[in-house]
Structure 1
Amino acid sequence: MTEVRVLPEPPATSASASRQSLTQLADAAGPAPYRSPWPARRRAAVKHLGLVVLGVVMLYPLIWLLMSSLKPTELIFRDVSLIPSEIDLGNYTAGWTALQYPFSRYLLNSAVIVLGSLVGNLVSCSMAAYAFARLEFRGRQLWFAIMLMSIMLPIHVIIVPQYVLFSRLGWVNTFLPLIVPKLLATDAFFIFLMVQFFRGIPRELDEAARLDGCGHGRIYLRIMLPLSLPALATTAIFTFIWTWNDFFSQLIFLTRPDMYTAPVALRTFLDSTGQSSWGPMFAMSIVSLVPVFLAFLLGQKYLVKGIATTGIK
């Protein structure tokens, strides 16, 4: 009679043993206690309520400016409530023609300077950023450090040498002092912004383009620029907002009334003798804020994406 041997069961693996121990612990502990979602929802509601209150506090000056532009001048500081008791649209018509030239003239001057600054910064800063990010040349790290240090220079340090230079060139009371420096990549912040973005683009794309016979010019135009649209959009939005709202440099170089921009023209509504036209000035302030608001509203997606993808924290 043949003897039948029963082989012992193989030992359980560590994974199966762990699962068995977890199952036993879960059975011993019983069902998980029910947790109400209300505490998490309460925290989220409090957080959103705080953000709404903070947003209202930040927007209050703008809302007050808008409501004051709809009030008669004699009621602006007498009635400080947001809801005007009497709506008067005459401030907009009076402000449009209150100065020596129609306000459209000053808006056009600002648009010309903004357009020239946009083109200058996008072209020159992107080319300089490509050189720092992709080209190998002697002293690249040193020049990059000098470029970064120039960010710390306030405009008040360089405005006097600039004025002397542009005065000798005969550029005062022209748009050239406000546009030509932008063509020379003088805004180090935008160069740094694009350098950070270009460094995130794989170099394998450059090598593949060189195998196809592309030089640095075609790589810059056909690879770098199309892939760096968020950084270019961020540069364009910041350039638009900063140039449109610039007051100091435009006040220095533009002294003729026909060359005034919108910020400088708004300053002429104020009178040191106390005869300031507050209503028309508030109305034209709202008009001059509309392009800035539209630029931020239309480019907000690219602005956030450009800042998030360039490594700036």
Structure 2
Amino acid sequence: MKTKLTRKWMYHLVAAAGAFLMLYPVLWLVMSSFKPSTDIFVTAESLIPDPWIWSNYADGWQGIGDFTFATFIKNSLIIVIISTIGSTFSSALVAFGFARLKFKGRGFWFIVMMFTLMLPNDVVLVPQYILFAKLGWLNSMYPIIVPSFFGHPFFIFLIIQFIRTIPGELDEAAVMDGCGKFKLFVRIIMPLVTPAMATAAIFSFYWRWEDLLGPLLYLNKPSLYTVSMALKMFLDNESLSNWGAMFAMSVVSLIPVILIFFLFQRYIVEGISTSGLK
């Protein structure tokens, strides 16, 4: 009994130490948001602010120029919500086609799709920019939002594996009841792959929320800036950077991410590890 108790305590101590090491950067960020900008890196080894500067949050919320930080949060939410819906639904639809429909060249197009998953994003930046410039979409949200409605290779692959665990007899029964292909997807397949779609939606939300390169390339008006771009604007190479305000708004920008994680964390595990039916 003593040996088991000792192992249990050792396990919890090691787990707590590992958790502290992983959370220390976030804890340092939160505490630094209450420090004066001039003291943040001078007293970086100390977590406790002295004095506590609460005005960093008020200064950061004032934003940049005529636009408050609420404007940047609104822009990010518009991009993230629309892109997440488009990416999740379109990926599920494409996955249904690969997993359930028989068409000529299915294996070839599946391989092509997997190759796009391995293709570095930097390779297609210039062709995409030229395409969007010719379409007249520069300085708008279209280049960031519209591509998400054509599916994401990782989400397609994830949902395909999930759909393949669903018995084909369900499809046959639905077809006998008069379901067409699209109705079969909406009424039968989509409710069963909800955990996988939720997992794709969570990943899409994270990736879009933290994206800096896309908005940096296509958005030039401050009224369209996202949270990631607004945080970058607090830094000034020619004068004193407002580190306190930037850290304060960084903490604010973490709130949606943390909420999404705690509300939907069970879907991440369930979408990857479970089958389509209970």
8 A Cα contact 1:118 1:236, kept in partner:
yes
Q: Quote the residue 2:13 is aligned against.
A: 49
Root-mean-square deviation over aligned CA pairs: 1.4
What CA distance in whole angstroms lies between the structure 1 residues aligned with 2:226 and 2:168? 44
The aligned runs of 1:10-29 (5 Å cut-off) are: none
What CA distance in whole angstroms lies between the structure 1 residues aligned with 2:71 and 2:63? 12
What CA distance in whole angstroms lies between the structure 1 residues aligned with 2:175 and 2:227? 48
What CA distance in whole angstroms lies between the structure 2 residues aligned with 1:86 and 1:238? 38
What CA distance in whole angstroms lies between the structure 2 residues aligned with 1:149 and 1:85? 53
| Runs of 4+ displaced beyond 4 Å | none
Map Cα deviations across residues 221-257 of structure 1 (whole Å, 9 max, x no partner). 1111111111011011011010000011111111221
Deviation at 1:274, TM superposition (A): 5.0
Which one of 245, 252, 256 corresponds to residue 210 of structure 2?
Answer: 245
What CA distance in whole angstroms lies between the structure 1 residues aligned with 2:48 and 2:106? 59
Which one of 231, 234, 248 corresponds to residue 283 of structure 1?
Answer: 248
Q: 1:299 is paired with a residue of what secondary structure?
A: helix
Report the TM-score when normalising by structure 1: 0.85
The aligned runs of 1:159-238 (5 Å cut-off) are: 159-185=125-151, 187-238=152-203
Unaligned runs of 5+ in 1: 1-36
Q: Quote the residue 1:72 is aligned against.
A: 36
Deviation at 1:272, TM superposition (A): 1.4
Deviation at 1:43, TM superposition (A): 2.5
Q: Structure 1 residue 304 and structure 2 residue 269: aligned?
A: yes
What CA distance in whole angstroms lies between the structure 1 residues aligned with 2:75 and 2:173? 45
Letter in 2 for 1:125: S
**Rg comparison, structure with higher value:** 1
Q: Structure 1 residue 91 and structure 2 residue 62: aligned?
A: no
Q: 2:7 is paired with a residue of what secondary structure?
A: helix
Letter in 2 for 1:248: L
Deviation at 1:42, TM superposition (A): 2.4
Q: Quote the residue 1:143 is aligned against.
A: 109
Q: Quote the residue 1:33 is aligned against.
A: none
8 A Cα contact 1:193 1:310, kept in partner:
no
Q: Quote the residue 2:100 is aligned against.
A: 134
The aligned runs of 1:249-268 (5 Å cut-off) are: 249-268=214-233
Report the TM-score when normalising by structure 2: 0.95
Unaligned runs of 5+ in 2: none
Of 237-246 and 273-282, more deviation after overlay is shown by 273-282
Letter in 2 for 1:189: F
Q: Which has the higher contact order (CA 8 A, sep 6+)?
A: 2
Shift in alpha-carbon separation, 1:144–1:41, aligned structure 2, 3 A: farther
Deviation at 1:72, TM superposition (A): 2.1
